[in-house]
Amino acid sequence: MKPNNLESLWMPFTPNKSFKKDPRIIVGAKDMHFISDDGRDILDATAGLWCVNAGHGRKKIQDAVYNQIGELDYSPPFQFGHPKQFELANRLAEMFPEKMNHVFFSNSGSEAVDSALKIALAYQRARGKASKTRLIGRERGYHGVGFGGISVGGMVKNRMYFGSLLSGVDHLRHTHNPELNSFTKGLPEHGADLADDLERIVQLHDASTIAAVIVEPIAGSTGVLPPPKGYLKKLRELCTKHDILLIFDEVISAFGRMGTPTASEFFDVTPDIICCAKALTNAVIPMGATVVQDHIYESMLDNADAPIELFHGYTYSGHPVACAAALASLDIYKEEGLFERAVESAKHMQEAAHSLKGTKNVIDIRNMGLIAAVEIQAKDGAIGARGFETMKKAWDLGVMIRANGDTIAFSPPLIVENSQIDQMFDVTKKAIESIN
Ligand SMILES: Cc1ncc(COP(=O)(O)O)c(C=O)c1O
């Protein structure tokens, strides 16, 4: 089954040279498992890339996609509508926090973020605050790979090769504090006051120049960093105080990862804008969505200086097949009670993850919702090498884990069984112990 020439494909976020010498090829998937080209079942401890929340090969989504292609394969989203995109927007408005009733569709998390940043800027201008143009991100944030996303993002390798990025961007300090918070179960105790960093930025630039702050409620791609207790509430208060929009990038946290539709409900903090993607369609068809509060949408419509209120959109915004996949996914989440199930599984995962404390080279363990991370001491002069070797060894032992540098991240589908959680961590422990 192995393709005989791997060189034509330039693989994303992958060390191409090393992969092509020793490829890991996936040829199938069902429920909690991938199938490798050598016929092995590989337990999916990462829901693919934090996206296959209902598990693989779901017949209901498959049927919805198949039927939709037969009924309406495509319709242009500019100036024309089709029923399922309105239905999906209504379903999301119902599911998301109160007042978040308006949905702009795109095709990925990166596009959902860029849409949010553009909406924030256009909104400030529409309501007569055109000087509010600065965008504030956070160190160690990941907001996808568009120029907007990498500008507000805070991962050095994702930024350093790509020029000077967007102007007028600044960053809050990150919230990771291993000295005080290592091996915390759930939310760290220390660090709520780091939200005050926004005051420093306001003092430097003045609030009259700042449009929006964007953060992940829980930073995922930089190694799973749960927010300190009280941090997000404080950030919300400061944004309100200074008339700055708060954007939550919920590309990984929406659709049950925290046991709630969004992390916003979990933290009881409502931002002005939420970006989501990934599990929206259970990853079957690419789709992103930017969901905004009423005041943003209404202000844009009331104050527009042209018949088109927002000069932004994608050929595939609200694609009918993506909408069909999303509606079927939302049905599955509800019918099977998967968000509630995640709350129960999260308790088991917390204990299983923390049982690795004391394992060779493990320097921290973090968890929140159905997310956990085991951080390994980086090798001198070779950051990420141990994480990478651990991931490869776990693959050989039949489990797909994800290495972000030297942090191993776990975010299984919400259908995971406790015995599979045990397998994930048993194999990871063996893999870590086998690495120098
Ligand atoms: C928080 C966050 N934002 C944005 C993105 C980008 O999403 P995509 O890869 O679909 O563009 C990701 C992807 O992992 C993410 O974790």
Is residue 169 predicted with pLDDT exceeding 90?
yes
Q: What is the mean pLDDT of the chain?
A: 97
Query: Is residue 406, in this structure, part of any structural domain at all?
Result: yes
Domain identity same for 154 and 282: yes
143 lines ligand 1 (CB under 6 A): yes
For residue 44, list its beta bridge partners: 400
pLDDT in tens, 279-332: 999 999 999 999 999 999 999 999 999 999 999 999 999 999 999 999 999 999
Q: Which atom of ligand 1 is nearest to the CA of 146?
A: 11
Domain identity same for 129 and 35: no
Q: pLDDT grade, residue 205 (50/70/90)?
A: very high
110 lines ligand 1 (CB under 6 A): yes
pLDDT of residue 31: 98
Query: Nearest residue CA, atom 7 of ligand 1?
Result: 109
CA 51, 54, 55: angle at the middle one, nearest 5? 85
Query: Is residue 220, in this structure, part of any structural domain at all?
Result: yes
**Cβ neighbours, 10 Å, residue 2:** 9
- CA pair distance 370, 129, nearest whole angstrom: 40
Q: Which atom of ligand 1 is nearest to the CA of 109?
A: 7
Contact, 184 vs 222, CB < 8 A? no
Query: Nearest residue CA, atom 5 of ligand 1?
Result: 144
Q: State the CATH number of the domain containing residue 218.
A: 3.40.640.10
Stated as kind and residue range, the H or E segment containing 373 is strand 371-376
pLDDT of residue 156: 96
Average pLDDT over residues 419-426: 98
pTM of structure? 0.98
pLDDT of residue 2: 56
Ligand 1 centroid–CA 369 distance in Å is 18
- CA pair distance 187, 228, nearest whole angstrom: 6
DSSP string, 64-119: HHHHHHHH-S---SSS---HHHHHHHHHHHHHSPTTEEEEEEESSHHHHHHHHHHH
Q: State the CATH number of the domain containing residue 384.
A: 3.90.1150.10
Average pLDDT over residues 267-273: 98
Domain identity same for 79 and 193: yes
Look up the domain containing 157 and give its range: 63-335
428 lines ligand 1 (CB under 6 A): no
Query: Is residue 6, in this structure, part of any structural domain at all?
Result: no
pLDDT of residue 399: 98
Q: Which atom of ligand 1 is nearest to the CA of 141?
A: 1
Domain identity same for 402 and 346: yes
pLDDT of residue 186: 97
252 lines ligand 1 (CB under 6 A): yes
**Percentage of the chain modeled with pLDDT above 70:** 99
- CA pair distance 290, 104, nearest whole angstrom: 5
64 lines ligand 1 (CB under 6 A): no
140 lines ligand 1 (CB under 6 A): no
pLDDT in tens, 102-145: 999 999 999 999 999 999 999 999 999 999 999 999 999 999 99
Is residue 4 predicted with pLDDT exceeding 80?
no
Contact, 318 vs 85, CB < 8 A? yes
Domain identity same for 38 and 179: no
- CA pair distance 385, 296, nearest whole angstrom: 45
Q: Determine the residue of 53, 110, 275 to mutate for testing ligand 1's pocket, defined as the one with the most ligand atoms within 8 A of the Cβ atom.
A: 110
Query: Which candidate, 410, 370, 415, places its Cα nearest to that of 390?
Result: 410
367 lines ligand 1 (CB under 6 A): no
Domain identity same for 239 and 280: yes
Stated as kind and residue range, the H or E segment containing 320 is helix 320-335
Query: Is residue 113, in this structure, part of any structural domain at all?
Result: yes
- CA pair distance 9, 48, nearest whole angstrom: 20
Query: Is residue 8, in this structure, part of any structural domain at all?
Result: no
CA 303, 247, 318: angle at the middle one, nearest 5? 70
Domain identity same for 50 and 177: no
Contact, 112 vs 290, CB < 8 A? yes
Whole-Å CA distances, 254 to 52, 215, 419: 12, 14, 25
Domain identity same for 42 and 111: no
Query: Nearest residue CA, atom 13 of ligand 1?
Result: 144
114 lines ligand 1 (CB under 6 A): no
Ligand 1 centroid–CA 319 distance in Å is 19
Domain identity same for 45 and 155: no
- Interacting residues of 118 by C-beta distance below 8 A, sequence separation 6+: 148, 310, 312
Query: Is residue 165, in this structure, part of any structural domain at all?
Result: yes
pLDDT of residue 3: 61
Domain identity same for 204 and 304: yes
- Strand bridging mode 245-249 / 273-276: parallel
Domain identity same for 295 and 382: no
Q: Where are the beta strands (DSSP E) in 202-330?
A: 210-215, 245-249, 273-276, 288-293
The length of the chain is: 436
Domain identity same for 321 and 380: no
